Structures are given as C-alpha cells and as structure tokens.
Amino acid sequence: MPLRLARPILALTLAAFTLPALAQDKPSGEDAGAYLAARVAATENDYAEAAAWYDRLLQSAPNDPALLEGAVISNMGLGDVAKAAGFADRLAKAGGTSQVAWTATIAEKAQKGDFKGIIDDQKAGRTAGKLLDGLVTAWAALGNGDMTDALAGFDALSKTQGLEAFGLYHKALALASAGDFEGADDILSGKDSGPIAVMRRGVIAHVQILSQLERNPDAIALLDRNFGTEADPQIDALRTRLKAGEVLPFDIVTNAKDGIAEVFFTLAAALRGEADDGFTLLYTRITAYLQPGHGEALLLSAALLESLGQPALAEETYALIPADSPSYHIAEIGRADTLFAQDKSDAAIEVLQSLARTHGNLVAVQTALGDALRREERFKEAIPAYDAAIGLIGKPERRHWGLFYARGISHERSGDFKTFESDLRRALELEPDQPQVLNYLGYSFVDRGENLDEAMKMIQTAVAKQPDAGYIIDSLAWAYFRLGKYEEAVEPMEKASLLEPVDPIVTDHLGDVYWAVGRQREAQFQWRRALSFDPEEKDATRIRAKLEKGLDAVLAAEGAKPLTDVADGN
C-alpha cells in the first residue's frame, strides 16, 4: 500500500508549489510580450515553450528572481534537472529564495556527491519543508560518512506525529544499504515499532532483505501476500529466482545518492492526488535524474505529464523505459495512450500489436489491444485480443466482468448477437446487476424487439442503480418509445436530455418522442439541435430526412411499423 499523509500534515511538511511571481521590474515593449508568453506557457504546463521564453527573457534580465525561478520549474518539468540547477545557483547568487530551486540544488549536489554542501545549505536556512529537509539531511549525513547523525535524523522523523512511517521506512533502507539487514527487517516486519505501510518498492526492498538473510521462503510468502499469483513480470522473475535458491542483491538503495532519489519518489507517491501534479512532477523528475533506471519514477512522471495535458512529453518519458525492464509493458500501454491523445491512433495500435507479440502472455496487454481496436471500431479485430485475455485469466473472477462486457460489445457490433448476449449474461453472472451491462443488453433487446419484458426490467434496474446517468435514462425512455408508450417516454427522455444536453443521440431521441406525442415543432427543434452536436453521418442523414419529411415518412421508407401501429400493439 502507498505511504500516505493526511492533507493537513502534507501542508505543514512539504513546500507549497506556486507559479513564479511577477518579475520585480515589469518588462515593457517586446519583453512584455515574451513575458506574457512565458506566463501563458507555464500556466498551460507547456514546459518546452516556457523554458524557451524564460531563456529569452533572462538575456535582458539575467538576475531577475522570478524569471530564474520560472526557468528552474520549466526545465525541471522537461526533465533537465542539471540545467534547472544552474538557474537555481544563479537565483541563490542573486539573493533570491525559492523552495523549488532548493530541490534542484539538492539534486545537483547529490549527483556530484557533495553531501556536506547539502548539510551546510540546510544549516544556513535553505528549506523545502520539514519532511523533505529531514529525510534528505539524514541521507546526506550517511553520504558524508556519519551513520550516527543519519540514524538520529531518521529517528527524529519517526517520532514526529504523522511522519513516523517515512522516518522508519528510510531508516530501514539506510540500514540495509549499510549491510544491517537484520535491523532493516526488524523495522519493515514491524518488530521494531509496529507495522508500517509501504509501496510496491518497499515490499520488493523487504523481499531482497529477507533473501539476504537467507529467508527465501519468507520472501516468497511476502510476495504472495502482497501481489497474489496474477502474471506480473517483475514479481514472477523475483519469485522464480527465490524458488531457485538465489540470494537476491539489495539494489533498491545502495548509497546516499540513491537514498535521496528515493526520498523524492516516496514523497511524490504520497503527494499524488493530494498536491498539484506539476509540483509532484518535479519530485519524480529529480528521482529519475539521480537514478535513471528508476522505472517507477519514469512511469509516474509520464502519468503526471498526461494529466497535465502534455502527451508528447509523456510519450518521450514512457519511451525511456527499456525493453528488458519489467515495467516495459506498462510503459508501452501508457505510450499508446499518449499517441491516442495526439490523434495518432494507427501508431498507438501498432505499439500495442507489437507489444502483444512480445508480451502476449499478459492479460493487461491483450486487454489494452482489444480496447484500442474497439475504440477505433475495429470490432472483429478486437475479438481475438479479448479471447486471448479471457483465456489467460483461467477461472474468471468478479473483477473480470468488464472483459466479457467488452468482448460482447465487439461481437454485437460485428453482427454476432448470439455471442454478444452470451458474453453479457456471463458478465452479469460475475457482477450481478451491473448497470452498464444491464443497460446495454436491455437496450439491445428493445432495439431488436426481443425479450421486451426482461429488457424493461434490466433497464429499470440499471436506472435504479444509477439514477443520474443520462445514457441509462435515455435507454428507459427509448424502451417506452419502442413499446409504443409514447406519453410515458416523455418525462424520462426530457430528464436524459437535461443530463446529457449535448449528446446527439439523446437529443435525436427526444425529437422522436416529441413527434410521437404530436409536439412536432418541438421535435424539429430537437432534431436541429442534434445535428449541431456532430452526430455520425448515418445518423445525420436520417435526422435530415426527418426534418424534411417527418418521422412517419422516414419509418415508412424504412419499412418499419407506423407509430400508431406500435402504440396499438399491432
């Protein structure tokens, strides 16, 4: 489980992240435009653009603290921590203070092994928050050859309310890096100060420690408790080596520089979802700078960049994870997502198809490929990927309902309604009353005029489960419409339209319902609205025909039953 802090404690112990303040001397002329461009780029998390503008501005105002801080942040966002540290040094010499710049300085001094410099700076009053300062200074003491001071630093944090787990976890890593595996195990097993929650890396660190203590069976049991038996390349490889009697090296943290890298990653993981993603990114960038092979930091950096609206940078970051890394398949799935975000769907699918050839034994890979093909409406191609995923899971569990749902939709869109129904009923066996499945299957029955009583019950149950889901309420109203219960369809269809105000299908349906109850002018208004919401071309053609001829004429041309016949039950 991830280490977590309560929000108030995070606020007290970590630096607050803000965009750079206004420059001391507001620029004028051409520089004013450049300054505005830099600010806009920074606000939009466009780190490359912001860095370029700050470079330009600093040519005419080389010592401006706000511009220097902006350059620090933008270059760290790009992953160029060394360049950011150069700007941080200039900022310090100009008399400016910045918690963000201080983190860049820590990273650069740790990279160079200047641990005494980190300690001296901290004593001189440079700070980035109590927790970060405490952990970094303790590791710097270890790097400076003073284990006593290092352990005292970790102990001080472990006795601070809300920070106990951080101090204990890093003390365990420090002891293990120094060869005291017994002491490290005492902490991680809870013998020393009670159990502590750790991240995935913490579990793996403990596994390596147990192996160093020649306790491979205990290490295997720890893996099984935390990760189960589902395919996971990294965990599977560890388990295989442990079963073969191999003593695993302890390589999570081998020295003080690694320890400081782990500080930034630990805090980034704790901050995820609690602080601004742009701030959290600075920490993961530092981790990757100090430990380029830190796969988890690269993955988190890429995910943060995606959430910040920077898919191209995220793609570059995912691509840094090598093919022999146990995290490679996760990175490639993420890279495919970034390609989709850049409207490069063919390239995204090629990435996943290539991944399926090398990592096709992983459920996540086959599922991602199936989902990508389904997203592009390549339904027949998606089915084999879902088949492979379902074949890999063995006995399906409750959590696997989505696989059958996705495969079923692919069969339905490929014209195989029998297999579609079978898959969705299997999904309901695994997850009874799942509203999405009930809605889709019920709507499909209504649309084809089959199993109408069961279909209504399914849709009504789905509505009860998700009463504010517009697309499900639309299904209920449309079921009433298809059954000829036009008046009963009006209220739920109007509610669906309120919940999904710009959905072309819902709006088109509302027009049909209005037409059926004699509200023809309102129907035409809704059909025109539906056209403005960019419906699929086949739907747009039908809507235009309804506007020209009316719904009755369109139904007659399609060979469908007239509205009155449906209402009469004929």
Quick check: is 152 in a domain? no
Average pLDDT for the chain: 92
What pLDDT is attached to residue 568?
53
Quick check: is 286 in a domain? no
What pLDDT is attached to residue 16?
43
Q: Is a pLDDT exceeding 60 seen at residue 21? A: no
What's the rounded mean pLDDT across residues 32-55? 92
pLDDT digits (tens, 9 = 90+) for 236-246: 999 999 999 99
Q: Is a pLDDT exceeding 50 seen at residue 349? A: yes
Quick check: is 91 in a domain? no
Return the beta strands (E) in 46-125 as ranges: none
Q: Is a pLDDT exceeding 60 seen at residue 3? A: no
Confidence band, pLDDT 50/70/90 cuts, at residue 48: very high
What's the rounded mean pLDDT across residues 338-363? 97
CA dihedral 226, 230, 231, 233 (to 10 degrees): 0
Confidence band, pLDDT 50/70/90 cuts, at residue 27: low
SS3 228: coil
What's the rounded mean pLDDT across residues 540-551? 96
Q: Is a pLDDT exceeding 60 seen at residue 14? A: no
What pLDDT is attached to residue 18?
46
What pLDDT is attached to residue 35?
86
What's the rounded mean pLDDT across residues 424-449? 95
What pLDDT is attached to residue 22?
41
SS3 249: coil
What's the rounded mean pLDDT across residues 236-264? 96
Over pLDDT 90: what percentage of the chain? 81
| Counted domains in the chain | 1
What pLDDT is attached to residue 19?
42
pLDDT digits (tens, 9 = 90+) for 313-322: 999 999 999 9
Query: Cα separation of 507 and 526, whole Å?
Result: 6
Q: Is a pLDDT exceeding 80 seen at residue 156? A: yes
**158 close to 167: Cβ distance less than 8 angstroms:** yes
What pLDDT is attached to residue 560?
86
Q: Is a pLDDT exceeding 90 seen at residue 232? A: no
Closest CA to 462 of 443, 480, 478, 445: 443
What pLDDT is attached to residue 197?
79
Quick check: is 351 in a domain? no
Query: Cα separation of 4 and 163, whole Å?
Result: 9
Quick check: is 85 in a domain? no
Confidence band, pLDDT 50/70/90 cuts, at residue 6: very low
What's the rounded mean pLDDT across residues 3-15? 47
What's the rounded mean pLDDT across residues 434-442? 97
User: Which residue would you say has higher pLDDT here, 408 or 198?
Assistant: 408
Quick check: is 258 in a domain? no
Q: Is a pLDDT exceeding 90 seen at residue 343? A: yes
Quick check: is 381 in a domain? no
pLDDT digits (tens, 9 = 90+) for 63-105: 999 999 999 999 999 999 999 999 999 999 998 888 999 999 9
Q: Which residues of 424-460 are buried (b: 16+ CB within 10 A; e: fewer)?
A: bebbbebbeebbbbbbbbbbbbbeeeebeeebbebbb
Q: Is a pLDDT exceeding 60 seen at residue 195? A: yes
Structural domain containing residue 329 = 292-343
- For residue 228, what are the contacts with CB-CB under 8 A and spacing of at least 6? none
Quick check: is 44 in a domain? no
Confidence band, pLDDT 50/70/90 cuts, at residue 305: very high
- What one-character DSSP code corresponds to residue 431? S
DSSP 340-402: HHTT-HHHHHHHHHHHHHHHTT-HHHHHHHHHHHHHTT-HHHHHHHHHHHHHHSSS--GGGHH
Query: Cα separation of 65 and 413, whole Å?
Result: 59
